[in-house]
């Protein structure tokens, strides 16, 4: 039986939340934290999820696998990961969004991650370097735990009419609940700082095509603690995201997302000059809505090169996710 993609369902798979994908705090810093990929659809602030109003709760869960491919340096030159090295992350996200009425949403996302480092380790500015066996580190490291928990809220400022899209304001708080301290690089799952986000999202339906997108701003509210493994952290950043979904057959949609961030790399000490950071991620996806209010989605995220991207680790992600409105 074909299950149509109503607005409610569309919301679910809008993909690409501003917070999940564009979260530079998770993508850079020491480069060790969670994927920060637009392909992670489990975020609570996916642009179109903000406009849902036909259910009380949205539950989302996903499992993603990340393979680090290399890094851009401060000049935008890309270098592949070290020979013979691999850095992989298996990440699970649990998200819930509460819809108390027609305008507001309140959400919580809890990420968990396991890192597998083989002959390499994270480095500052999102770089990847070979492991230093001189210091007695094991060639293979495994570790993980909870990542940085995100709280978000949104308010629908305008319900779109005629040619105009719907608009929502949103804000979020990223809490440094993930580990960013110590010597064991495989256990790093967090950014080490509190950060806040605000933004504006828009949604427009054009027959079988759904377009959504938004812009945001993120800034840290604290410096990393002294025991955090890197002196660098993400400063003020701009976030951007666009997603297009096309219902090509009953219950089936294909999507393409683009998400990016651009900002400054801050240092625990005042740095003589600020380093910039930024990148874009493209995420094609396919989605099957198998029951009313329930569906699954498979997505692949990768960083195109070349591009005006700096100080960022690059990776490819494979994400499987499930959602349900209740």
* Residues of the shown chain interacting with other proteins in the complex, contacts defined by CB under 8 A: 71, 73-75, 77, 79-85, 119-120, 123-125, 127-130, 132-134, 136, 231, 267-273, 275, 311
Residue 231: CB minimum distance to other proteins, A: 5
Residues 6+ apart with CB under 8 A from 102: 53, 156
Q: Residue 275 or residue 316: which is nearer to other proteins going by CB?
A: 275
Q: Report, in Å, the least distance between residue 116 CB and other proteins.
A: 18
> What does the DSSP 8-state code read for residue 46?
B
The beta strands (E) that lie in the chain are given as 57-72, 78-80, 86-98, 104-118, 120-122, 128-130, 140-146, 149-158, 166-175, 195-206, 209-220, 232-249, 252-267, 275-291, 294-302, 312-325
d(CA 80, CA 97): 38
Closest approach of Cβ 123 to other proteins, in Å? 5
Q: What is the largest CA-CA distance in the chain?
A: 66
Which of 146, 133, 126, 34 has its CA nearest to residue 71?
Answer: 126
Length of the chain: 326
- Residue 21 has φ and ψ, to the nearest 5°, of -80, -45
Q: State the minimum distance, in angstroms, from the CB of residue 101 to other proteins.
A: 48
Euclidean distance between CA atoms 66 and 84, whole angstroms? 17
76 vs 171, beta carbon nearer other proteins: 76
Residue nearer to other proteins on the CB measure, 81 or 297:
81
Question: Could you check whether the bond before residue 61 is cis, i.e. omega within 30 degrees of 0?
Answer: no
CB of 150 to other proteins, least distance (A): 27
DSSP state of 271: P
Residue 89 vs 125, nearer CB to other proteins? 125
Q: How far is CA 259 from the centre of its chain?
A: 9
Q: Nearest distance from residue 270's CB to other proteins, in Å?
A: 6
Nearer to other proteins, 72 or 323 (CB): 72
CA terminus-to-terminus distance, the chain: 20
CB of residue 129 to other proteins, shortest distance in Å: 5
Judged by beta carbon, residue 204 or residue 268, the one nearer other proteins is: 268
Q: What is the rounded CA–CA span in Å between residue 7 and residue 245?
A: 12
By beta-carbon proximity to other proteins, the closer residue of 90 and 129 is 129
DSSP state of 274: P
């Amino acid at each position: 039986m074909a299950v149509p993609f109503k607005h409610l369902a569309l919301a679910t798979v809008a993909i690409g939340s501003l917070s999940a994908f564009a979260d530079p705090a998770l993508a850079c810093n020491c480069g060790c934290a969670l994927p920060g990929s637009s392909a992670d659809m489990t975020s609570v602030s996916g642009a179109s999820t903000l406009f849902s109003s036909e259910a009380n709760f949205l539950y989302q869960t996903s499992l993603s696998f990340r393979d680090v491919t290399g890094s851009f340096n401060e000049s935008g030159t890309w270098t592949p990961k070290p020979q013979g090295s691999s850095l992989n992350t298996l990440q699970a996200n649990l998200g819930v969004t509460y819809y108390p009425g027609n305008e507001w949403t309140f959400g919580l996302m809890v990420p968990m991650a396991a890192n597998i480092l083989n002959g390499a380790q994270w480095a500052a500015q999102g770089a990847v370097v070979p492991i230093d066996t001189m210091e007695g580190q094991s060639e293979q490291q495994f570790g993980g735990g909870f990542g940085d928990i995100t709280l978000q809220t949104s308010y629908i400022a305008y319900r779109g009419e005629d040619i105009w899209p719907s608009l929502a304001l949103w804000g979020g708080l990223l809490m440094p609940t993930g580990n960013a301290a110590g010597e064991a690089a495989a256990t790093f799952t967090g950014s080490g700082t509190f950060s806040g986000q605000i933004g504006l999202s828009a949604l427009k339906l054009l027959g079988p095509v759904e377009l959504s997108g938004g812009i945001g701003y993120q800034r840290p509210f604290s410096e990393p603690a002294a025991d955090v493994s890197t002196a660098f952290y993400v400063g003020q950043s701009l976030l951007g995201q666009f997603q297009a979904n096309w219902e090509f057959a009953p219950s089936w949609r294909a999507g393409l997302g683009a998400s990016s961030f651009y900002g400054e790399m801050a240092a625990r000490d005042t740095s003589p000059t600020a380093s910039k950071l930024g990148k874009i991620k493209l995420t094609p996806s396919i989605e099957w809505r198998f029951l009313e209010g329930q569906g699954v989605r498979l997505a692949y995220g990768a960083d195109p090169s070349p591009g005006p991207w700096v100080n960022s680790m690059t990776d490819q992600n494979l994400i499987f996710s499930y959602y349900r409105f209740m």
